[in-house]
Structure 1
């Protein structure tokens, strides 16, 4: 369980860094272009936003899975305690 929570924490930090990088990239592109003299197109911005939304949705699903697994593990532990006490 701890490994799963650790993995989710790493995922959360990675998504945060991705979000910051995207924001920085969008700001930079709007100010100076992307190195070849052009700013990001609306399509490129939309693609970046879709990728971020997909990453956030994946994180939500992972968190929901952790909660479900944690509930099942807690139930199994409780049942084991009852069996051991008998």
Structure 2
């Protein structure tokens, strides 16, 4: 078996994989939803750091560009508004 986490003891990694495999579909979906929420939160924090003067609407629009791709975000939400 290949190593997923080089900083994790192989026995602990095997146990983690076993627990993932045994998790119910609902539990797996909940874990995935939490991972998505965390990734979105980190992306939003990064955008706020990169654009400290941006309004909440601008941050949401920039996040849409990251999540959907800029072309799709522009079609759906329009251009980025820099208004405060």
| TM interval, short-chain normalised | 0.3 to 0.5
State the structure with bigger RCO (CA 8 A, min sep 6), 1 or 2.
Answer: 1
Structure with higher Rg: it is: 1
Normalised by the length of structure 1, the TM-score is 0.40
Higher helix share: 1
